[in-house]
Structure 1
Amino acid sequence: MILFISMNIPIVYSSGNIQQKFEEANKMYEQSNYDSAISLYESIIMQGVINSSLFYNLGDAYYHKNEIGKARLWYERAKKISPRDGDIENNLKFVRSFVQEPEEGFLSKAFGFVLINELTVFGSLFYFLFIVGLTINLFYKNDALKLVNSITGTIFILCFLWFLTRIYAESKYVSGIIITNIEARNGPGEDYSVGFTLPEGKKVRILSEKSGWYAVETLQVKPEKILIRGWIPKLSAKKI
């Protein structure tokens, strides 16, 4: 399986030190010095840099260290910034195969295909066009213009509803990645019995947290597709 690596995509920031670190990290990666590359990539992130290429490269470095959980975590974080990037999606498909996780359905893919700020821009644009069309139609009655107004108004409403749904979903549902194989228990503590095992790299929905434990939910594929719930230590998973 060939991984698609965007090692030469430049990151332009006001600080030359960050750009220099990024280039040095890429060199370490190309020399298979993955520990040094990871250290440099993470030091850039600690400075507050949010960039899909940076996250993607960090995921690649973790993949080559066979740390599938952390690799998937950073691929998922990269996807949140660049949801239509083909390289990110290809690598995510590959790491999902390690945990025998089914591909996202059409609705799930479509839901995250557009960023919230893009929805804001699209919605504002079509709202503006709708208002302009209505204003013109007050003075010039025209059937074609009425049709255009109906289309722009409908698109605006769809963008607005999509925007509200995304805001609600992102505030209510928090996803995480299992970064080490872990036994999920039937309560928040080691005293509770083991319910099932979650493999490194598995994606879960974090429902709540209590006393250093996450209540999580995930889809079990075999022997049948069902949602299963359990409790895991917070250190065993990272929020996307």
Structure 2
Amino acid sequence: MKQLLYILSFLFSVGLMAQNTAVFEQANALYNAGKYGDAIDKYKTILDTKNHSAELYFNLGNAHYKLNNIAPSIYYYEKALQLAPNDQDIKNNLAFAQNMTIDAIEVVPEAGLSKIVNNATNRMEFDGWAKVSIGFVFCFVILFLIYYFAYSSLRKRLTFLGSLVSLILMCVSLLFAFHKFNLDKKDKPAIVFAKEILVKNAPNNRSDESFRLHEGTKVQVLDTVSNWRKIKLQDGKTGWVSSEDIKAL
């Protein structure tokens, strides 16, 4: 019975994939014909099937950009960049879309040791650092065994030194892995979708206005209280906005 269910599930997945491919091609044809709104509707039917890809988000961003929909175009470019962080076309189109935003926010650059550590950590994902750690564990074990059974004093010294280096590198890669995990956990970006929002200094409508933001601006979500989100800008400013005014990435 289970085998039959697996077969049916596999056939359903194959059929759904073929259907999504056909819909994707139809959407591309609509986009090339200048029917951007219809293309968006087609692309979204693929998203409704829980099918995600950088190419799909990229095309959605392009279609919204053609319609001058600032916030959606930036949102979908950012989604595409999450799946393909090194794609230069996505980065270029995202930069074009960001040029349409109103808010000019200066980025506070990282400095010192924090910048060096974060740059090194972000060179790989958490899984990558974990695999590197496992690789150094194997190196340590193999070198230590060679050291233990070796008769030559020179070989013993070399393998002991190698095993010690492997152990140190394993610990370093583990630290990078956990640091990357914490960075990803704290990273909660969102895009402002409202035309203009009043950022409050407390999570209620009676509080004073801190500043204003406009559609397309990227923020970091720090906290949640009821229907309010505490946000932080790249220049360090913080405040509270309604959850309805932003869309989390």
TM-score range, shorter chain: 0.7 to 0.9
CA deviations 1:61-120 (Å, max 9, x no partner) are 222221222222222222222222222222333334444345776766654442333333
Q: Which runs of 5+ in 1 are unaligned?
A: 1-12, 221-226
1:75 and 1:166 map into 2 onto residues whose CA distance is 23
The alpha-carbon distance between structure 1 residues 138 and 205, as it changes in their structure 2 partners (threshold 3 A), is: same
**TM superposition score normalised by structure 1:** 0.79
Q: Does 1:235 pair with 2:239?
A: no
1:121 and 1:198 map into 2 onto residues whose CA distance is 42
Secondary structure of the structure 1 residue equivalent to 2:23 = helix
Secondary structure of the structure 1 residue equivalent to 2:221 = strand
Secondary structure of the structure 2 residue equivalent to 1:219 = coil
Question: Among residues 172, 175, 179, which one is paired with 2:186 in the alignment?
Answer: 172
- The answer on whether the counterparts of 1:34 and 1:64 sit within 8 Å (CA) in structure 2 is yes
AA aligned to 1:178 is V
Written as runs of structure 1 = structure 2, the 5 A alignment for 1:195-234 is: 195-220=210-235, 227-234=236-243
Q: Alpha carbon RMSD of aligned pairs, Å? A: 2.6
Q: Does 1:100 pair with 2:104?
A: yes
The alpha-carbon distance between structure 1 residues 207 and 17, as it changes in their structure 2 partners (threshold 3 A), is: same
Q: Which runs of 5+ in 2 are unaligned?
A: 1-12
Question: Among residues 14, 17, 42, which one is paired with 2:44 in the alignment?
Answer: 42
The alpha-carbon distance between structure 1 residues 122 and 41, as it changes in their structure 2 partners (threshold 3 A), is: farther
Written as runs of structure 1 = structure 2, the 5 A alignment for 1:22-171 is: 22-97=24-99, 98=101, 99-101=103-105, 111-140=121-150, 141-146=155-160, 148-171=162-185
1:36 and 1:145 map into 2 onto residues whose CA distance is 65
Deviation for aligned residue 1:197: 0.8
Secondary structure of the structure 1 residue equivalent to 2:191 = strand
1:102 and 1:110 map into 2 onto residues whose CA distance is 24
Tell me the equivalent position of 1:224. Answer: none
| Bigger Rg, which one | 2
Aligned residues: 222
Identity %: 24
Tell me the equivalent position of 2:5. Answer: none
AA aligned to 2:95 is K
Secondary structure of the structure 2 residue equivalent to 1:70 = helix
Secondary structure of the structure 2 residue equivalent to 1:196 = strand
